[in-house]
Amino acid sequence: MAGNRVVVYQGPGEVSVESIDYPKLELPDDVVTGTGVKRSAPHGVILKVVSTNICGSDQHMVRGRTTAPVGQTLGHEITGEVIEMGDDVLFLNQGDIVSVPFNIACGRCEKCDERQTGVCLNVNPARPGAAYGYVDMGGWIGGQADYVFVPFADFNCLRFPDRDQALEKIKDLTMLSDILPTGYHGAYTAGVTTGSTVYVAGAGPVGLAAATSAQLLGASVVIVGDMIEERLAQARSFGCETINLAEPGELNEKIADILGEPEVDAAVDAVGFEAVGSGPDAGEQPAAVLNDIMNAAKVGAGLGIPGLYVTGDPGGVDEEAQIGSLRVRLGLGWAKSHRFQTGQCPVKRYNRGLMKAILADRVPIARNVNAQVISLDDAPEGYQQFDRGAAKKFVIDPHGMLKA
**Helices 251-259 and 288-296: angle between axes, nearest 10 degrees:** 40
pLDDT score of 258: 98
- Parse the chain into domains and list their residue ranges: 4-178+346-396, 179-341
Q: How many CA atoms lie within 13 A of 94 on its CB side?
A: 5
Cα–Cα distances in angstroms (integers) from residue 54 to residues 37, 83, 101, in the given order: 31, 23, 14
- One-letter amino acid at 400 equals G
Cα–Cα distances in angstroms (integers) from residue 315 to residues 225, 285, 305, 386, in the given order: 24, 12, 22, 19
Pick the CATH number of 179-341 from 3.40.50.720, 3.40.50.300, 3.40.140.10, 3.30.70.360: 3.40.50.720
Q: What mean pLDDT, rounded, does the chain reach?
A: 96
Residue 403 has pLDDT above 80, yes or no: no
Strands annotated E in 128-174: 147-150, 158-159
280 contact partners, CB below 8 Å, separation of at least 6: 246, 247, 248
The string of pLDDT tens digits covering residues 341-374 is 999 999 999 999 999 999 999 999 999 999 999 9
336 contact partners, CB below 8 Å, separation of at least 6: 294, 297, 298, 299, 300, 301
Q: How far apart are CA 136 and CA 312, in angstroms?
A: 10
Helix (H) or strand (E) holding 279: none
Helix (H) or strand (E) holding 381: helix 379-387
Q: What is the pTM of this model?
A: 0.96
Tell me which of 29-38, 146-155, 235-244 is least confident.
Answer: 29-38
Give the closest residue to 338 by CA, choosing from 346, 328, 347.
328
Residue 404 has pLDDT above 70, yes or no: no
Q: How many CA atoms lie within 13 A of 386 on its CB side?
A: 30
The string of pLDDT tens digits covering residues 169-206 is 999 999 999 999 999 999 999 999 999 999 999 999 99
pLDDT score of 254: 98
The string of pLDDT tens digits covering residues 28-78 is 999 999 988 999 999 999 999 999 999 999 999 999 999 999 999 999 999
Banded model confidence at residue 157, pLDDT cuts 50, 70, 90:
very high
Can you tell me the mean pLDDT for 378-396? 96
pLDDT score of 279: 86
pLDDT score of 51: 98
Can you tell me the mean pLDDT for 305-323? 93
Q: How far apart are CA 177 and CA 78, in angstroms?
A: 6
Percent of the chain with pLDDT over 70: 99
The string of pLDDT tens digits covering residues 120-134 is 999 999 999 999 999
Pick the CATH number of 4-178+346-396 from 3.40.190.10, 3.90.180.10, 3.40.50.620, 3.30.470.20: 3.90.180.10
Banded model confidence at residue 282, pLDDT cuts 50, 70, 90:
confident
- End-to-end Cα spacing for the chain: 25
Banded model confidence at residue 308, pLDDT cuts 50, 70, 90:
very high
Pairing of strands 14-20, 45-53: unpaired
